[in-house]
Amino acid sequence: MKKIRVHISLLIAIMILSGCSIPGLRSSSDKDTVAITGGITSEAQILGSIVAGMVEHYTDKNTTVINNLATTTINHQAMLNGDASISAARYTGTDLTTTLKLPAEKDPAKAFKIVKSSFAKRYHQTWFPSYGFENTFVFLVRRDTAEKYNLKKVSDLKKVSNQLVAGVDTSWITREGDGYEGFKKVYNFQFDSILPMQIGLVYDAVAAKKMDIVLGYSTDGRIGSYDLVMLEDDLHFFPPYDAAPIVDDKLLKETPDLKKAVSKLSGVITTKEMQKLNYEADNNLVEPSVIAKQFLETHNYFEGK
């Protein structure tokens, strides 16, 4: 079954990138159904189902969520092809450099302003305000390590970098811009011992004391479950990756209640909340759609917002 899913996902990606519409998604018989892109991560799939729940609650539209779209480029192409009208999990820093091919912007407000205006002009799509969290790179240590060396922010690492074993995503070491070379220039220090590894393994490694500090993602559920401490990026080295939905302008005009429904999600999910939701999917193996439904019901679909 797993192999079948992978093959289907690959087929969908190829069709989208080649400009072919996905059969059945946008036919005339589905004019009352809104297609929403989720993604390949638990986070993207949860957000896709959260948006779908809000659309169905506040409008007369049905929804379908397209998951397993592995990259921002594929999500973007699905919107351009008309295979989807809402993209639920987009990140300012990623779309700024990947989709728009513009320089990275460190200021969150400026980054949002650029992507919002550029998407409106280029693609006739509305970029909504952030859900309330960003999923960015973050340095993580165990609580005992933070207390031992009095670590609160990344700059604090400079005085003890020669005593710590660091584990980072393999691609980050050679990544341009916000990779290791850029990091050394901005923070003016380097780790004496740095080990490349798969990003999914860093949390277990630091929790098991195989290393002292790792570079992970700020919304990963294992941060809370392992009681890891996130160090503040006090020199603002990493670009902002605020998470937000994007909606096609044509759909907004056709569905008057849609803007209000999606706007209710602005600023309602904190980083800790997203960590918990991701943990439910990745650790407890709860289906993202079930997590989303429970989240919306708990908050009464943000009726009073």
Q: In the chain, how many domains are there?
A: 2
Same domain, 184 and 255: no
Q: If you average pLDDT over residues 242-257, what whole number do you get?
A: 96
The string of pLDDT tens digits covering residues 61-78 is 999 999 988 788 999 999
282 is a domain residue: yes
Specify the higher pLDDT residue, 5 or 222.
Answer: 222
Residue 39 — pLDDT band, cuts 50, 70, 90?
confident
235 is a domain residue: no
Here the CATH number for the domain that contains residue 108 is 3.40.190.10
pLDDT of residue 199: 83
pLDDT of residue 20: 56
Best mean pLDDT range from 5-9, 20-24, 292-296: 292-296
pLDDT of residue 13: 53
Same domain, 146 and 171: yes
pLDDT of residue 224: 87
Q: If you average pLDDT over residues 147-167, what whole number do you get?
A: 97
pLDDT of residue 69: 87
Last residue of a domain, one of 177, 208, 230: 230
Same domain, 165 and 117: no
Contact 42, 282 (CB under 8 A): yes
CA dihedral (132, 137, 138, 140) in degrees, to 10, reads 130
Last residue of a domain, one of 186, 202, 230: 230
pLDDT of residue 202: 93
Mean confidence (pLDDT) of the chain: 90
Last residue of a domain, one of 230, 250, 273: 230
What number of other Cβ atoms are within 10 A of residue 190's Cβ? 14
237 is a domain residue: no
Q: If you average pLDDT over residues 44-69, what whole number do you get?
A: 96
Same domain, 18 and 128: yes
Same domain, 290 and 271: yes
8 is a domain residue: yes
Cα separation, 48 vs 35, whole angstroms: 10
Q: If you average pLDDT over residues 34-53, what whole number do you get?
A: 95
What is the residue range of 107's domain? 2-134+242-302
Same domain, 144 and 260: no
294 is a domain residue: yes
170 is a domain residue: yes
Same domain, 10 and 97: yes
pLDDT of residue 305: 84
pLDDT at residue 235 is higher than 90:
yes
The string of pLDDT tens digits covering residues 90-149 is 999 999 988 999 988 989 999 999 999 999 999 999 999 999 999 999 999 999 999 999
Of 296, 258, 259, nearest in space to 277 by CA: 296
pTM: 0.83
Q: Which of the residue ranges 43-57, 80-94, 168-182, 230-244 would you say has the lowest mean pLDDT?
A: 168-182
pLDDT at residue 80 is higher than 60:
yes
